Amino acid sequence: MKNVTRSTIVAAGVIGILGILLSNALAQRPPRARGAGQGDSQLQKPPVPKDENEKKILGILDDIRARQQYRNVPAQDGRLLRLLAQSMNAKNIIEIGTSTGYSGIWFGMALQKTGGKLTTFEIDAQRAATARANFKRAGMADIITLVEGDAHEKVTALKDPIDILFLDADKEGYVDYLDKLLPLIRPGGLIIGHNISPRMADPKYMEAITSNPNLETIVRTEVSLTLKKG
C-alpha cells in the first residue's frame, strides 16, 4: 500500500514536471510569422521578399491584416492565389468579393510580373473605398479595376477571356456567377472558390463543379480549384 502511494506520488511529480516543461516550451515559441505554419503544416515558412517592391507590398498586406475589420482570405490562401496566377501567366483575373482588397493585392503581385489585370467586384461602398485606397497604396491602381455594385448584374458586361475566376462573395450566388462566367473562362483556366467547407459551401455549386465532364475539381482546406479542361 505504502509502495503504491509512493509510486503514485512519483508519477504525479513526473507528470507535473513534464507539464511545466511543455508550457515553458510553448511560451517560448516565437510568434507566428506572416503566412507561416497555418493549421496543417509546421513546415510553412513566411514569404522571403526578393526586392524592395515585394517587401513593401508584403508590409502593406501585413498592415491590412493587422487593421482587419472585415473578413479576408487567410495569408496562406493569398499566397496560393499569387502563386497560381503567376505560374499560369494569368493576364485577366476576375474576383467576386473585393472587401478591402487583401486578396486583390496578392493577385496584383502576380500581375505586376505577368503584365495582366484584375477586375474585382464589391457591393459595399465603404469596403470598396478602403480597397481603392489600398490598391493605390500598393501601387496597383493601374492594374486593378474595382467595379462597385451587385456583381450578379455587373459581370454581364464582361466580354474578354478569363484566366482565373475567384469567387469570394455571397456563397448562394456562386452558381449564378459560374453560369454567367464559365463561357468566358479560357480552356486551361481556373475557377477558384473560397469558403468551400461542409458548413459553408452551397451544395448546388459543388454539384455544378464536380459533375460537369468539362471541369476537374479538387478541394483543399476551404478552397476549391476547378480546371476548365482544354
Spell 7-36 as b/e; 16+ CB within 10 A means b: eeeeeeeeeeeeeeeeeeeeeeeeeeebbb
The Cα 60–Cα 63 span in angstroms is 5
List Cβ neighbours of 183 (8 Å cut-off, separation of 6 or more): none
| Binding flags for ligand SAM, 39-78, as an x/- string (CB under 6 A) | -------------------------------xxxx-----
The answer to whether residue 97 forms part of the interface with ligand SAM (CB under 6 A) is yes
The answer to whether residue 34 forms part of the interface with ligand SAM (CB under 6 A) is no
The answer to whether residue 202 forms part of the interface with ligand SAM (CB under 6 A) is no
Q: Which one, of 35, 229, 72, 57, lies nearest residue 166 by Cα?
A: 72
Which position among 150, 171, 215, 217 is part of the footprint of ligand SAM (CB under 6 A)?
150
Which position among 47, 60, 85, 103 is part of the footprint of ligand SAM (CB under 6 A)?
103
Which position among 76, 92, 99, 134 is part of the footprint of ligand SAM (CB under 6 A)?
99
The answer to whether residue 176 forms part of the interface with ligand SAM (CB under 6 A) is no
The Cα 103–Cα 99 span in angstroms is 9
Contacting residues toward ligand SAM, per CB under 6 A:
70-73, 97, 99, 102-103, 121-124, 127, 150-152, 168-170, 173
